[in-house]
Amino acid sequence: MPLVDHSGLPTFQRLLAEGQDILREDYAQHQDIRELHIGLLNMMPDAALMATERQFFRLVGMSNQIAQFHMHVFTLDSLPRGEAAQAHIAQYYEKFADLKQKGLDALIITGANPVHAQLEDEPFWPGLMEVVEWAQENVTSTLCSCLASHAIVQHLYGIRRCPLGFKRWGVYKHALTMPEHPLVSNLNTHFDVPHSRFNQIDREQLEEKGLRVLAESHKAGVHLAVSPDLFRFVFFQGHPEYDGISLMKEFRREVNAWYLGRRPDYPPFPQNYFRPQVKAILNEYRLRLAYARVHGTEIPEFPESSLISLLPNTWRDTAKSMVSNWIGKVYQLTNNERHLPFMDGIDPNNPLGLR
């Protein structure tokens, strides 16, 4: 069902150009269709700010529920921002204080770029925990992505992530471990998910605190887990929202960091992502880049345009289905009042009625 452009956010025009259904707010107001109001706390750094908007908007907009989706994007004042990002946020983003007054049906919290060894030392920590504590009492379900998952399970359950000692980076096979859960209803039993992280939370840590693991990879570990009540918090450790080109762009940033001396080694390829033809193109580019670095000549252009058509996206259909299931349960459990009294008569420890 369609997204509603109620803010003029440029992301809506980008998605409209891709063929997404986007309704003008004045038109949507005259439609006799249920509204769902979904918050997006965007903590990503400036370079990924708008791409992250598009990625999560796509997943919500592709949901097959009979509803109009109003996306309410906000961020945290404590996050450092450049001038362009600050202007974008000032023009298009909402304030958390206003959203608390209006209410939300559901909430998505993105990852962030960590700079400290301990998450509680990050500049986003106090603001994020304020949002989490409000959501715990006032939002039907909160979907947490990657680093947000790590921070929130630490805050709520005392579970600390473990450093891997390397970057888990690539596309990995996963299997359902609790196929009866409504969030994974009708999903393929085996599917791909991208990962990109230096730290990990393991199944044993989660289950010790009563959380349920719904999908896991033999190689990459847990991807999908839920809070002990089975729905209030949904945790992604991977990045199913990624576009097909996201890991390629991340690889390009790492290559540039090497060229500029910000990392000592040339980055390895993301695992299970680049085809042999892509690797051949990138190996040839590495030779030209090394020559330019030694001789001080202009950096050669990254061959992105040659690679885009060769990059896979083997995870989007599963991601769409899972988010559609999530939205569907939010739809069933909420009404237009958007506050927790709608849970009257529902067991707060098992709102989905699972046995």
Identified catalytic residue from 70, 122, 144, 146 = 146
pLDDT value at residue 296: 87
Whether 146 sits among the annotated catalytic residues: the reply is yes
Residue 284, number of CB atoms within 10 A of its CB:
11
What CA–CA distance (Å, rounded) separates 194 from 179?
20
pLDDT of residue 34: 82
**Choosing from 6, 70, 181, 239, which is the catalytic residue?**
239
241 is catalytic: yes
Per-residue b/e over 123-146, b at no fewer than 16 CB within 10 Å? ebbebbbebbeebbeebbbbbbbb
**In this predicted structure, what is the pLDDT of residue 337?**
47
- Which pLDDT score is estimated for 329? 92
**Alpha-carbon separation of residue 234 from 65, 150, 166, 225 (angstroms):** 19, 12, 26, 6
pLDDT the model gives residue 345: 52
Domains of the chain: residue spans and CATH? 3-242+315-343 (3.40.50.880), 246-310 (no CATH)
- Active-site pick, 53, 122, 216, 241: 241
For the whole model, what pTM was predicted?
Answer: 0.89
Q: Is 239 a catalytic residue?
A: yes
Show the low-confidence residues of the chain (pLDDT under 70).
1, 26-32, 64-65, 335-351, 353-355
- pLDDT (0 to 100) of residue 32: 60
Amino acid 7: pLDDT? 86
